[in-house]
Amino acid sequence: MGPVRGSKKRKKVEKKPEENASASGSSEKEGSVDWWDELSKRMNGLQSSSKGLDKFKSVLKISQRTFNYICSLVKEDMMAKPGNFTFSNGKPVSFEDQVAVALRRLSSGESLVNVGDAFGLHHSTVSQLTWRFVESMEERGLHHLQWPSTEAEMAEIKSKFEKIQGLPNCCGVIDATHVMMCLPSSDPASKVWLDHEKNHSMVLQAIVDPEMRFRDIVTGWPGKLEDWLVFQSSNFYKLCNKGERLNGKKIELPEETEIREYIIGDLGYPLLPFMVVPYEGKELPEIRAEFNRRHSATRLVAHRALARLKEMWKIIQGVMWRPDKHKLPRIILVCCLLHNIIIDLEDDVQDEMSLSHDHDAGYHQRICGSFDVKGVYMRDKLSLYLSEKLPP
């Protein structure tokens, strides 16, 4: 399977989150939780001091309102597939049980055996249920990962970015992280996945908005591929070059200077008319040093988004044991969709998580160094504009 891109079109028009959420129960107190009472009694090794819905959140890492909404997305597909799953005591596995098992597998990062033991299921059943959920969610939840479609939506994103550190007309922050894998060294094909830090890994590249929502992703490439090469392989890059992305309203700065729409990234990316990276070097003039400080502070939103993604969906946080390289990009995509759903539904679970920004421990910055003269001109104009906004 080729790299997964978060910008691909969905086959069906989906309902808005608010509509589906209310249809499936907009309050945690609404709807039956009998299935959860039964399931929690069967759990082994997942005991918690919390009870009821608090225990629900501690085990599945989301509120029941968010759970109900996720169920509303995948129910039609998952119920249509044949399969009679049972617990070790012979009782049937309900639809809600199936979704709960899949979410536990994705959020805990525990092995199939450990998740199965906890719920009283065979590890092969956990694998089947998780994959059924992934197949359905990647199709039914894709509308939660989209580039802004209206001028008003983009204007709000630009405004929020500018409030961070003053960067005008900024539309996103790009960053990349590695999902590590444990592969057999005896297999010659494993060398393809060996990256610069001597780990077997797959790369995830994401463009993030000010609320840490993923707006575009690319995954599936080996981790040894340089960030700029991953970016240049993306549909986003191709659309930008055609003038079909980041082609919205320009803003006028003093002295009749126009600034087009752009995204920002670190030195692992090229300086382009639509991609602004920091100045390279240590002993920089104050104007450039100040620009770099503001640029770096704004990029934190992407660091935090990727760190939260891995913290929330731990299946991609540690080292995955011999994963199927064709299925892994789809699992990564679904984790990104779930990350966005939590933001879109304003699930308070996100408020309970720490704001870490270390998502790629052990990996060192690699420098691209490539630049376009139009990108150089725009960055200089931005740095000059920001220097004039400095306090006296």
| DSSP letters spanning 190-249 | GGGGB-TTS-EEEEEEEEE-TTS-EEEEEEEEETTS-HHHHHHHSHHHHHHHHTSSS-S-
Say what the pLDDT of residue 30 is: 40
Say what the pLDDT of residue 227 is: 96
Q: DSSP state, 367?
A: -
User: What span, in angstroms and rounded, lies between the C-alpha atoms of 158 and 154?
Assistant: 6
Tokens 């894709």 correspond to what residue?
Answer: 142
User: Which residue stretches of the chain have pLDDT < 70?
Assistant: 1-33, 44-53, 354-357, 389-392
Asked whether the beta carbons of 359 and 307 are under 8 A apart, the reply is yes
Which amino acid makes up residue 73? L
User: What span, in angstroms and rounded, lies between the C-alpha atoms of 60 and 330?
Assistant: 20
Say what the pLDDT of residue 97 is: 95
Say what the pLDDT of residue 185 is: 83
Q: DSSP state, 86?
A: B
Q: How many CB atoms lie within 10 A of CB 301?
A: 21
User: What span, in angstroms and rounded, lies between the C-alpha atoms of 374 and 371?
Assistant: 9
Can you name the residues that pair with 252 across neighbouring β-strands? 258
Say what the pLDDT of residue 6 is: 44
- The dihedral through the CA atoms of 114, 120, 122, 127 has a sign that is negative
Which amino acid makes up residue 237? Y
Asked whether the beta carbons of 223 and 213 are under 8 A apart, the reply is no
User: What span, in angstroms and rounded, lies between the C-alpha atoms of 316 and 137?
Assistant: 17
Query: What is the rounded (10 degree) CA torsion for 243, 372, 379, 298?
Result: 70
User: What span, in angstroms and rounded, lies between the C-alpha atoms of 175 and 198?
Assistant: 21
The strand pair at 319-321 and 251-253 is best described as: unpaired
Which H or E run contains 344? helix 328-344
Helix (H, G, I), strand (E, B) or coil at 141: coil
Say what the pLDDT of residue 27 is: 40
Over the stretch 301-348, which tens digit does the pLDDT of each residue have? Answer: 999 999 999 999 999 998 998 899 999 999 999 999 999 999 999 998
CA nearest to 203, candidates 8, 9, 360, 367: 360
Say what the pLDDT of residue 267 is: 97
pTM of the model: 0.89
Q: How many CB atoms lie within 10 A of CB 63?
A: 20
